[in-house]
Structure 1
Amino acid sequence: MMFDTIAAISTPRGEGGIGIVRISGSDSFTILEKIFKPKSKKSISSLKSYSINYGHIYDGEKIIDEVLVSIMKAPSTYTKEDIVEINCHGGYVITQRILEIVLEKGAQIAEPGEFTRRAFLNGRLDLTQAESVMDIIHGKTEKSISLSLNQLRGDLKDKIHKLKKLLLDVAAHVNVVLDYPEEGIDDPIPKNLIENLHKVVDEINDLISSYDKGKMIKEGIKTAIVGKPNVGKSSLLNSVLREERAIVTKVAGTTRDTIEEIVNIKGIPLIMIDTAGIRDTEDEVENIGVQKSKSLIKEADLVLFVLDSSRELSKEDIEIYETITNSKVIGILNKIDKDKKLDISRLSKIKEWIEISALEKIGIENLEDEIYNYVISGEIEDSSEKLTITNIRHKSALEKTKQSIDNIFETIDMGYPMDLIAVDLNDAIDSLSEVTGEISSEDLLDHVFSNFCVGK
């Protein structure tokens, strides 16, 4: 497949020890020959693939930088094209100048994700593997990266191909019945092929059911810390983060806006949000924070409802409790280092209660264990061994596949013509092909690769 030669800076902009300018395409070595002089004085064409070569980048007769240049010859490269990577000194000015020289010599600036898009279009990766590259870059925990590496390895691709093979076996029988009626093949689908359909549905159900946990590992659990003022919400956030992130005072209403931080609990990223204390207030700014807190309760994946165990249950506590009973909630009894005055018998809808002292750092590990178990029920420990999907696009395509197969079972049960089975079979196979990108629109590819950074 022929493309223009592209180039981009592949390392983060700013000061650093090394900056990398990447070039990919059929003119990569021609462009390099115009700007790079190896210390070895060898011609660019004679340099070995997978070699690193010391020398200088020139702009005309002027030395721009002392560099190491990696040479990678097609087709055994990331894009399956000739690739050059210029390892120069880091810093915005020098990497930008080298990129400008590369562009002046004939390369085109790469669009976001264009290197990976070429890897997909040239057959180096399927779409699930291409998406996993972005997930690895944005991974928040080792567990999320582990899932992405499984996908990059081709586990999901292999699974989809296996399921397609089962459906194609059924489709072959159906097509023979429809296309060669003179062969006298009975219309009903044989038992072994019916088993194929059931097997596909079972495996698709497993993949679909893995999505919620996969999404949690990949994107994090949006966790709202709620309660009335001065129950210790900010102290709780600081204790879990192991740093003084939120301001803590004895003055009610100190937190007037949300504070958001990501914390890693056993490989699961929690997006913890310290909210303004919920109460009736005449303060306009604080009231905005209170309304924001109430909105976050509806949006959150998990609510940590904090009560002060050293104070009696109040009207404000009850009002907050009634607001959150439809949410996934863990109750937290804070300030257990003081005398207990709280009676929670009226809060019977909350099944999980953890006693802590956020200020004294007591019970925090127990809370973390409870959050982990409550969110994922302890079933994610072997996620690196079990195929898990994390992308809503994959889930949607699998759900369409399942619906098509359900239609086939209905057609068989109702005794409808075999033609209808053929239509739904084709739809099921096409939906599976959407997962791997074997069937994909230009708009879909634009959407997938637009989320990448430039240079990848």
Structure 2
Amino acid sequence: MLWDDTIAAISTPKGEGGIAIIRISGDKSFEILEKIFKRQNPNSDLGFSKLNYGFIKDGKKMIDEVMVARLKAPKTYTCEDIVEINCHGGVVVSQKILELVLKNGARHAEKGEFTKRAFMNGRIDLSQAEAVMDIIHGKTEKSVSLSLDQLRGDLRDKVNSFKKALLDITAHVNVVLDYPEEGIDDPLPKDLRDNLENVYEEANRLIESYDKGKKIKEGIKTVIVGKPNVGKSTLLNSLLREERAIVTHVAGTTRDVIEEVINIKGIPLVLVDTAGIRQTDDIVENIGVTKSKEFIEKADLVLLVLDASKELEKEDREVIEKIKENGKKAIVLLNKIDLAKKIDLKEFDLENVVEISAKDNIGIEDMEEKIYSYIISEKVEDSSEKLVITNIRHKTALEKTKEAIKNIFETIDAGLPMDLISVDLKEALDSLSEITGEISSEDILDHVFGNFCVGK
């Protein structure tokens, strides 16, 4: 074991609920439980990996009626002895039990410390630890599916296959360098070169999968833009199926950005309702207009809302030009088609035009199909066939691996000393080891586990 202390925390969300779970991990877990848990039948055997009924008591004072499980190391989440106390949900009772556990020999767990112990004790690697957090924060079934693949060890297995190929090459290079009398002239035989090229190509494919994986994990940033009073906030409410944004006939009601997430066939869309873009002397509204323009630049997809019941105005043209200027993919929504249509778009070469009435929910399904067509064109929806990475840390490590392999090829082709190949091979292997955590600085570990909740 790497730790000689025992940690505890509430592993369920704060607030009222059916149950709350207090988790204890470490050598003193069972000892602490014996001090505070009184089973209904004093002669019964608590056993392992089963629920036991009884009461948590502070001396003679009963705290709560509970179900308790004892889990024996090493076959536990942390590879340590674990106790899980299932008490009635609620802030007061769960906190009282946690305080009692701490008083009897445990210390409060740090953020992510249970999962960090699982990593440090060798049950999971660092990429799998990151997958745990991604599952917790998963916004859709597809994003959770990607995280489950990673938790299962798919990325670890791929990295290990890369490392095996590189280690085979390293062994060959070492023989050439250490035993020159053997007269091995070929710095890299064809089979080893083919293996190295395969690692390069596979690493590159994983790097290229990052943009798709990031969108599945974090969502497609979709900004709703247009001049004031064209129905942007009504559209947001229609998509969310709730009254999220304030809607009035007064232009400029939305002065700040409103961000929400919706699910389009398994892909999260991060919807941003922005302030109407127009010239204004209102200081607060002007800040909102500036933010709107900035969001257009950052967006993956723009929903441009135009008022179909009016002719194009200066503000409409400015928004269209801003979108074209930034080269953004846009879906044009002609809103208010429940009124007489007056808009004419002939002067602009606009694709993906959908007629809607956000107020009456007309054309909303057609708009969602257009958005999904964009998702298909970006190849975001197909994530089942091959491994996809979603973490910038993994992408950066793979890029360093790819660069090191590229240097190896250049060294061989230029006929340079093989010592240089050894340096680049070590760089590639170290970069791959960063993904799984075999080589990790304390700063990296603190960053990864610092994003966890306390009880995980």
TM-score band (shorter)?
over 0.9
Match of 1:219 in 2: 218
Give 1:378 deviation, angstroms. 6.2
CA distance in 2, matches of 1:42, 1:172: 61
User: What does the per-residue CA deviation read over 1:366-404, in whole Å, with 9 as the maximum and x for residues that have no partner?
Assistant: 221222221452634441342111110000100110000
Q: Is the 8 A contact 2:132 2:147 kept in 1?
A: yes
User: What does the per-residue CA deviation read over 1:269-327, in whole Å, with 9 as the maximum and x for residues that have no partner?
Assistant: 11111111111123333223222222222222222111122222211111111222113
Distance 1:378 1:298, change over 3 A: closer
Aligned to 2:243, the other structure's residue is in SS state: coil
Aligned to 1:56, the other structure's residue is in SS state: strand
Match of 2:406 in 1: 406
One-letter amino acid matched to 2:26: G
Q: Is the 8 A contact 2:228 2:252 kept in 1?
A: yes
1:17-32 to 2 correspondence within 5 Å?
Answer: 17-32=18-33
One-letter amino acid matched to 1:26: D
CA distance in 2, matches of 1:99, 1:20: 10
User: What does the per-residue CA deviation read over 1:230-288, in whole Å, with 9 as the maximum and x for residues that have no partner?
Assistant: 22211211221122222223222222222221111111111111111111123333223
Match of 1:177 in 2: 176
Match of 1:392 in 2: 392
Farther-moved stretch of structure 1 (194-203 vs 296-305) = 296-305
One-letter amino acid matched to 1:372: Y
Farther-moved stretch of structure 1 (299-308 vs 328-337) = 328-337
Q: Is the 8 A contact 1:187 1:418 kept in 2?
A: no
Match of 1:373 in 2: 373
Match of 2:287 in 1: 288
- Give TM-score, length-normalised by structure 2: 0.96
Give 1:2 deviation, angstroms. 3.1
One-letter amino acid matched to 2:369: D
CA distance in 1, matches of 2:385, 2:193: 29
Q: Is the 8 A contact 2:203 2:402 kept in 1?
A: yes
- Give TM-score, length-normalised by structure 1: 0.96
Match of 1:317 in 2: 316
Structure 1: gaps spanning 5 or more residues: none
Farther-moved stretch of structure 1 (393-402 vs 356-365) = 356-365
One-letter amino acid matched to 1:438: E
Farther-moved stretch of structure 1 (296-305 vs 81-90) = 296-305
CA distance in 1, matches of 2:203, 2:351: 33
Match of 2:200 in 1: 201
1:5 aligns to 2:37 (yes or no) = no
CA distance in 1, matches of 2:205, 2:221: 24
CA distance in 1, matches of 2:416, 2:407: 11
Match of 1:448 in 2: 448
Aligned to 1:21, the other structure's residue is in SS state: strand
Distance 1:276 1:84, change over 3 A: same
CA distance in 1, matches of 2:317, 2:73: 67
1:78-117 to 2 correspondence within 5 Å?
Answer: 78-117=77-116
One-letter amino acid matched to 1:399: E
CA distance in 1, matches of 2:209, 2:321: 31
Match of 1:14 in 2: 15
Distance 1:214 1:42, change over 3 A: farther
Match of 1:334 in 2: 335
One-letter amino acid matched to 1:150: D
Aligned to 2:70, the other structure's residue is in SS state: strand
Give 1:121 deviation, angstroms. 0.4
- Structure 1 vs Structure 2 CA RMSD: 1.5
1:400-439 to 2 correspondence within 5 Å?
Answer: 400-439=400-439
CA distance in 1, matches of 2:425, 2:447: 28
CA distance in 2, matches of 1:380, 1:256: 32
Give 1:34 deviation, angstroms. 0.9
Match of 2:141 in 1: 142
1:227-242 to 2 correspondence within 5 Å?
Answer: 227-242=226-241
1:23-62 to 2 correspondence within 5 Å?
Answer: 23-42=24-43, 47-62=46-61
Q: Is the 8 A contact 1:79 1:124 kept in 2?
A: yes
Q: Is the 8 A contact 1:213 1:376 kept in 2?
A: no
User: What does the per-residue CA deviation read over 1:16-51, in whole Å, with 9 as the maximum and x for residues that have no partner?
Assistant: 1111110000111111111112223247xx532211
Match of 1:70 in 2: 69
One-letter amino acid matched to 2:271: M
1:266-281 to 2 correspondence within 5 Å?
Answer: 266-281=265-280
CA distance in 2, matches of 1:254, 1:135: 36
CA distance in 2, matches of 1:147, 1:42: 47
Q: Is the 8 A contact 1:24 1:79 kept in 2?
A: yes
1:255 aligns to 2:254 (yes or no) = yes
CA distance in 1, matches of 2:420, 2:373: 46
Q: Any runs of at least 4 consecutive aligned residues in structure 1 with deviations exceeding 4 A, and if so which?
A: none
CA distance in 2, matches of 1:292, 1:332: 21
User: What does the per-residue CA deviation read over 1:134-176, in whole Å, with 9 as the maximum and x for residues that have no partner?
Assistant: 0111111111111111111111111111111111111111111
Q: Is the 8 A contact 1:150 1:384 kept in 2?
A: no
CA distance in 1, matches of 2:145, 2:2: 34
Give 1:109 deviation, angstroms. 0.6
Give 1:437 deviation, angstroms. 0.7
Farther-moved stretch of structure 1 (259-268 vs 287-296) = 287-296
Aligned to 2:159, the other structure's residue is in SS state: helix
Give 1:116 deviation, angstroms. 0.1
CA distance in 2, matches of 1:115, 1:386: 30
CA distance in 2, matches of 1:235, 1:314: 21
User: What does the per-residue CA deviation read over 1:74-118, in whole Å, with 9 as the maximum and x for residues that have no partner?
Assistant: 000000000000111111111111111111111111000000000
Q: Is the 8 A contact 1:372 1:378 kept in 2?
A: no
Aligned to 2:56, the other structure's residue is in SS state: strand
Q: Is the 8 A contact 2:37 2:57 kept in 1?
A: yes
